[in-house]
A and B are shown apart, each in its own frame.
Chain A
Amino acid sequence: MSNLISGAKILLECLVREGVECIFGYPGGVTLPFYDALYDHPIRHVLVRHEENAAFAAEGYARSTGKVGVCCATSGPGATNLTTGLVDAMMDSIPIVALTGQVSSKLIGSDAFQEADTFGITRPCTKHNYLVKNLAELPQVIHEAFYLASSGRPGPVLVDIPKDVFQGHYQYQPVNSIHLPGYKIHLDGHAGQIRRAAQMMWEAKRPYIYGGGGVLASGATKELRELVETLDAPCVLTLMGLGSLPSSHPNFISMPGMHGSYASNMGMTECDLLIALGVRFDDRVTGRLAAFAPHAKVIHVDIDPAEIGKNRAADLPIVGDVKRVLTKLNKNLQELAPAMQAANSGSRKEWWSQVRTWQTEHPLQVETSADEIKPQHLISEIDRISGGNAVVSVDVGQHQMWSAQFIRFNEPRLWLSSSGLGSMGFGLPAAIGAAFARPDKTVIAIMGDGGFQMSVPELGTIASHGLPVKMIIMNNGYLGMVRQWQELFYNNRLSSVTLDSFPDAEKLAGAYGFKGRTIEKPQELRAALEECFAEPGPYLLNVKVTPFENVFPMVPAGAAINEMVLSQPKPVAV
């Protein structure tokens, strides 16, 4: 009976078969059998300091590699703490698998110690979820979970495993095939639609490419570049899509939307053909939907049919994987080029000259001051050091928007941002995930003083593993983005946004055994950043910046995206 092995070991065997190398988690009562099996197993377990951060770290791992991130928590509070990360992964289509322990199956429904209805609670937080009632079905469920998380439109999948399933023994047989008859993935776009799209693209006078997270998820960066260059069209990338075209590419404009650049948003408004690739026309991108891209026909490519026509009707929908669709599309474009390329070259030239004019009229400007460190100055200095090569994990708020505006990326998967859900406290744990996934890269975590204080416990994880994460706090003493809205739209009544206590960074970092420092003079900035990046281990750099700086351009809520506020309204008197 040597083949009778425990559920915990069967789970590990399935994880190995899925190529899992690393799990971010936190143990507890009902996962004890699993952690016992992990004790002498080659899969690495990273003990985080809060389960929410296990999910965020798994996301950081997944976002920076494209592989499935794995997190683990115990029943009840462990599982409920995961939920923010699950919704975050859901909103941004990030492939993670969450493993949760559950009370023994006989106790389910009895209000047992640390019992929660994880299966019910996480149903709307996941792409799919499972409660494993029989050990016999565990291998199949685990393989299904990984397949669902990573295929089609990626997303989080949760598997809830009762303690007795971990403890039971079963004759393990590897499962070599799974069958999900209702899981329909539409990979290849409709050939006729793709041909029509190519035709429309050549016919357009003012084509505009709007790329998002789907480009990265399908690994279509090369194909996107080919499209951009064949058509010679301007290209904007959403917060989720940053890095899918190198920032240095001459056709890359910037990010569109609420804090997008002037040129990005004007281009959206004036184009006559919007080529939307792996995007979902998020309200932060479109502004007032009725006034969005009013002159444009829309070609919408997305793997998820439910995204087509959700917010903006598509004149030409193509359901498919961006990479596969673009591969065919680029071929069609090449075939049509000899006949069509010349016809519109005049109007294309005009279009480019218009776009370039917008870019020069209102560029994204790096503010500097001799007395204070301007946040944009800080971000541009970080960018200078990164040179487009570092992994940059951000939190949520003003620093996130400035980072999106100013930080360049030479390759995909360097930019980690909680974009759809906007979860504060994401930046540091996501950087931890990336530090394990990408030891070849410098990993920077840029946070506000608000988000950082949601993540402080993870300094323990960083210290335990000596992770060389460069933690940079853009410290303005406020919950800056909320304060900005209160200033601009709520008569500057600053309600509960003041963070007037902040620990001494040097002492805080020192308490964990690594280096930290606080600076506030622009003259110190460059040297301090260089010291931070030269340090072989972790470094916590607290940068005090101008407290009242606001992010511009800004599209006020309910406005069209060409109705941007470009700079700070002038004060009445000084």
Chain B
Amino acid sequence: MLQVISLLLENKPGALMRVTGLLSARGYNIESLTVARTTDPTLSRMTIVVDVDSTLRKQVIKQMNRLINVLQAADLSEGPVVARELVLMRVRAAMESRGAILKEAEIFGARVIDSTLEGFALEATGEAEKLDEFIDVMRSYGEIEVTRSGTVAVSLEPRKLRLSSPVATGAGTKSQSTTGVLNG
């Protein structure tokens, strides 16, 4: 059973690497990862799907929270959550199966986004398992090419975001009046 970790992080160079580094350092594979800006352009929302047992996952999430660029890392594996993935697919279809493909697409709630003599380009969203089925079904009609977005998820429980306040610089030192050094 795969688990979902959701992170809110600063949109800064290297931030992604810091997060993924905690997983790769342990030799864990990332099943999927999505990241995009939030309504606040200085922040990104990242959704990671992993396969890590719960004790270690707790540990890794604590260590993610320890990262300076991470405002919040949360385990969405338990508790109410909505998770969706987008799949874009090109399916090659012979003339006689085109009708059937469209019917199947409709069953899965997929949309046709392009249609050519060779076949269709389809778009579907849903839970990852549902999309697996969709892909399997489409494969039975002919050659397919698939791009998946990776899962995005949102918790249905409100989560408090605790942020730190600004601090004064040079707090550890007493010698503040040293600008003279530069003027000389």
Contacts and interface: CB of A to CB of B under 8 A. Distances in A.
A128 B10 CA distance: 14
A378 interface: no
Interface in A102-141: 119-120, 123-124, 127-129, 131
A183 B170 CA distance: 17
B68 A183 contact: yes
Contact of A119 (B14, B163, B169): B14
A150 B170 CA distance: 11
Contacts of B168: 176-177
Interface string B16-58: 0110010001000000000000000000000000000000001
Contacts of A309: 58-59
A129 B168 CA distance: 20
Interface stretch (B92-100, B104-112, B173-181): B173-181
B59 A310 contact: yes
Interface in A123-164: 123-124, 127-129, 131, 143, 146-148, 150
B17 A120 contact: yes
Contacts of B14: 119-120, 123, 129, 131
Contacts of B66: 304-306
A306 B67 CA distance: 11
A431 B25 CA distance: 32
B169 A182 contact: no
Nearest to B166: A179
B62 A305 contact: yes
A182 B70 contact: yes
Nearest to A129: B14
B65 A184 contact: yes
Interface in B126-184: 162-176, 178-179, 181-183
Interface residues of A, number: 44
A172 interface: yes
A312 to B, nearest CB: 12
Interface in A161-199: 172, 174-185
A12 interface: yes
A18 interface: yes
Contacts of B124: none
Contacts of A147: 167, 169, 171
Indicate the member of A5, A124, A127, A182 with the most B CB atoms within 10 Å: A182
Given A16-B175, A119-B14, A128 B169 contact: no
A441 to B, nearest CB: 22
B13 interface: yes
B76 interface: no
A348 interface: no
A8 to B, nearest CB: 11
Interface in A485-499: none
Contacts of A300: none
Contact of B21 (A17, A124, A143): A124
Contacts of B176: 17
B122 to A, nearest CB: 38
Interface in B67-87: 67-72
A521 interface: no
A172 B172 contact: no
A309 B63 CA distance: 12
Interface in A1-19: 2, 5, 9, 12-13, 16-19
Given A16-B178, A184-B164, 10 more contacts: A2-B183, A12-B182, A17-B176, A19-B175, A123-B18, A174-B169, A180-B164, A180-B167, A182-B68, A182-B163
16 contacts: A16-B175, A16-B178, A18-B173, A19-B174, A67-B172, A123-B17, A124-B21, A148-B68, A177-B169, A178-B166, A181-B71, A181-B163, A181-B164, A182-B67, A305-B65, A306-B66
Query: What are the 4 A-B residue pairs with the smallest beta carbon separation, nearest first?
Result: A19-B173, A306-B62, A143-B169, A179-B166
Interface of A: 2, 5, 9, 12-13, 16-19, 41-42, 67-68, 119-120, 123-124, 127-129, 131, 143, 146-148, 150, 172, 174-185, 304-306, 309-310
